[in-house]
Amino acid sequence: MKIDPSSSADLSAQIAKAIRDAIISGALPVDERLPSEAELAEQFDVSRPTVREALKRLAAQSLIRTQRGATGGAFVNRLKFEDAYGQQITTSTLLLSMNAVSFATACEARYALERACAPLSAQRRSADHLATMRAEAHRQSQPGLTDEAFCASDVAFHRALVDAADNPVLSYQLAGAVEAMQPLMNMITFSARSREKIIGLHQMIADAIEAQDAGAADANLAALATYTQELAQGVIAARDKAAR
Amino acid sequence: MKIDPSSSADLSAQIAKAIRDAIISGALPVDERLPSEAELAEQFDVSRPTVREALKRLAAQSLIRTQRGATGGAFVNRLKFEDAYGQQITTSTLLLSMNAVSFATACEARYALERACAPLSAQRRSADHLATMRAEAHRQSQPGLTDEAFCASDVAFHRALVDAADNPVLSYQLAGAVEAMQPLMNMITFSARSREKIIGLHQMIADAIEAQDAGAADANLAALATYTQELAQGVIAARDKAAR
DNA sequence: CAATTTTCATTTGTCAGACAATTAAACGTC
DNA sequence: GACGTTTAATTGTCTGACAAATGAAAATTG
């Protein structure tokens, strides 16, 4: 187990890659203990700080966890959906904010994916998920709610809708698309009238899900997508007007 | 800029979080140069190796890049879709392999998402994407193709289908769902007959996309989803029979 | 003066060695 | 056997040092 010192890449990056590949290939099963840092340093013929940098890289991806003490060490970590959610949301958010992705593009992607969930959600929705959707729709109708709180509740509503599909893989994929939109949504100022319309659509969606009517759920989601795009275009038009 | 040394978390993790938050919030814009390691060490009141561990954590998430030399240092990195694809695929693949996600669940998610793309792909498909789909379908019909090469071509076909929607956010989200399925698909042995049926559906999908017929594309994708599930159930039944 | 080469300061990459903090097992003691 | 105590192993952190890369400044040369 040696590392090519002539390669251009950092040694710690090479070592991290070697270990990562071993984990992905299954050579290192979940909960397996890696050799101690001192042993890894000897095996790869590098110093301990270099090994540590490699391990921190893996820890940043939740591929390993470390524990101090006599029986401690670095262990292959079972990547949990909940950990992956966080990474997914961070990555998606940065992708949107750093690449000048238009509101229209992000919004289109989000609603396309959400509509893919709707039939499954209608079929499998639990009382719990329905109750969450109802509660969030109600919260959105509270007077005095800030735009940001309104958006946060919006996200919670849509997450419940997605989670109702009872497919963790779908929930994971959608988490990024839905949550990453929030900063973009926060740029919209919601008038009393626009809130009313959105809440109405939310209630219709909840009704459709409760009635297990996939067609109605899809139609109302489509309407919500269209209306959201319209609102955003209004904001963009106003901004351009101010900049002119 | 200090770090709480009494906290249970590692200092390097705390420092990484502080810098990560600054990047996400926009306080550190893209291409901004971070202070040198020595300066960061002084600011956070830790040693240089600790700072370096923190920076490696951020580098593992593609949030920064480093450069040696007089004008070098660590710079906030513009997260590119291409970089995010890789992380997304790695994470999705590990999620599936480490969490005993059933083939049925993963397959359902994948085809639900893909069907969400189909209408957009039908509307916007370019000659390029169509040509790729045709080429992959043709490759799949070559005799002597290994099961793995068949699966790889299958992935390429579906990626072209997704990319045809011309929405980078959708492509990014779907990359994980489609590619992460490949290891699971590789467990299936494709008989000549099953290949024939899949290729037939691929051609029908390509036809529908070319004709910009979203309904037909959706119907054929649904048929492909059903057939894939059937094939997998056959494999699972055979495996259970052998284990008994 | 212009072009080229050399020198140099800055910064990251790597190493060696040390000590602190944590943890569980081994060991004694009652 | 139950309960402290010691001990060994391991990660976390620090100090100091040198190597390697790299661009800028200085010196040299035509």
* Fold of domain A11-76: Arc Repressor Mutant, subunit A (1.10.10)
Residue-level pLDDT at A147: 87
**Taking all atoms of strand D, which protein residues have CB closer than 7 Å?**
A 34, 36-38, 48-49, 52, 55, 66-74; B 10-12, 45-50, 53, 67-72
> Does residue B58 contact residue B49 with C-beta atoms inside 8 Å?
no
Chain B closest-CA separation from residue A115 CA (Å) = 7
Residue-level pLDDT at B110: 94
Residue-level pLDDT at A136: 96
Whether the full predicted model's pTM is greater than 0.90, yes or no, is no
Q: Which of A232, A145, A226 is nearest to A187 (CA)?
A: A232
CA distance B170 to B168: 5
pLDDT at A186 over 90: no
Segments in chain B below pLDDT 70: 1-8, 243-244
Q: Which of A63, A10, A12 is nearest to A37 (CA)?
A: A12
Q: Using CB atoms, which residue from B49, B95, B113 is nearest to A79?
A: B95
B208 touches A: beta carbon within 8 Å: no
What percent of chain A has a predicted confidence (pLDDT) above 70?
96
B217 touches A: beta carbon within 8 Å: no
B53 touches A: beta carbon within 8 Å: yes
User: Which pair of structure tokens corresponds to residue A49?
Assistant: 């700080």
In 3-state terms, what secondary structure has residue B25?
helix
A97 touches B: beta carbon within 8 Å: yes
A80 CA → C26 C1’, Å: 36
pLDDT tens-digit readout, A26-64: 999 999 999 999 999 999 999 999 999 999 999 999 999
- Enumerate the residues of chain A whose CB falls inside 8 A of the CB of residue B107: none
8 Å CB contact of A177 and B169? yes
Alpha-helical (H) ranges within B141-187 are: 147-163, 168-180, 182-185
User: Which residue is associated with the tokens 């690449």?
Assistant: A99
8 Å CB contact of A52 and B49? yes
Measured in whole angstroms, the distance separating CA B158 from the mean position of its chain's CA atoms is 13
CA distance B27 to B30: 10
Measured in whole angstroms, the distance separating CA A135 from the mean position of its chain's CA atoms is 22
**Whether A46 CB is under 7 Å from strand C:** yes
B113 touches A: beta carbon within 8 Å: yes
CATH (residue range B81-243): 1.20.120.530
Interface residue of B30, B46, B52, B56 to substitute, partner A, most A CBs within 10 Å: B56
Q: Which of residues 126-185 of B touch strand C (CB under 7 A)?
A: none
Chain A closest-CA separation from residue B193 CA (Å) = 30
pLDDT tens-digit readout, A9-32: 799 999 999 999 999 999 999 999
8 Å CB contact of A93 and B58? no
User: Which pair of structure tokens corresponds to residue B69?
Assistant: 């030399």
Residue B206 vs residues A1, A146, A147, B117, B220: alpha-carbon distances, Å: 47, 47, 44, 14, 10
What percent of chain B has a predicted confidence (pLDDT) above 70?
95
- Enumerate the residues of chain A whose CB falls inside 8 A of the CB of residue B53: 52-53, 56
> pLDDT grade, residue A143 (50/70/90)?
confident
Nucleotides of C under 7 A from a protein CB: 8-18, 21-25
Rg (CA), chain A: 23
Q: Domain segments of chain A: what residues? A: 11-76, 81-243
Give the Cβ contact number of residue B104 at 10 Å: 14
Using CA of residue A186, residue A189, residue A194, residue A199, what is the dihedral sign? positive
User: Which pair of structure tokens corresponds to residue A59?
Assistant: 């820890």
A90 CA → C19 C1’, Å: 37
H or E element that contains B86 = helix B81-98
Domains A11-76 and A81-243 share a fold: no
Residue-level pLDDT at A202: 96
Give the Cβ contact number of residue A244 at 10 Å: 5
pLDDT tens-digit readout, A196-228: 999 999 999 999 999 999 999 999 999 999 999
